[in-house]
Amino acid sequence: GQQLNQSPQSMFIQEGEDVSMNCTSSSIFNTWLWYKQDPGEGPVLLIALYKAGELTSNGRLTAQFGITRKDSFLNISASIPSDVGIYFCAGQSFQGGGADGLTFGKGTHLIIQP
């Protein structure tokens, strides 16, 4: 199935550093979402974006919905050990084809060295 282009695939950073990851698509989406998944668990919603150009924060997390509606980024400031995990972007469109299911990226694996 179709997937979004998410980068980087993995990041090795020091505790306290800022993190940036992004997602691009060849298709337009009406909604962009960012999830975090820990091993053996389901994805947990971090931020939902509904409008092109929207910039939304959730604590140390900030995400933006790209103006073209084909991309989004997620920033994490001052990373801490519990930020370790896999971060997924997901896009949702509401076209006539009934594409209400989310399209996910392959994930960014964040590893933090103390």
The span from the CA of 67 to the CA of 99, in Å, is 21
Per CB under 8 A, 29 contacts another protein: no
By C-beta, is 16 or 58 nearer to another protein? 58
* 88 touches another protein by CB under 8 A: yes
- Residue 6 or residue 22: which is nearer to another protein going by CB? 6
Q: How far is residue 91's CA from residue 103's CA, in Å, rounded to a whole number?
A: 5
The token pair that represents 19 in the structure block: 């993190």
Q: Which of 66, 85, 104, 112 binds another protein (CB under 8 A)?
A: 104
Burial class (CB in 10 A: 0-12, 13-18, 19+), 88: buried
> x-or-dash pattern for another protein, window 1-20, by CB under 8 A?
x-xx-x--------------
Alpha-helical segments (H) within the chain: none
Site residues for another protein per CB under 8 A = 1, 3-4, 6, 31, 33, 35, 40-45, 48, 50, 88, 90, 94, 98-107
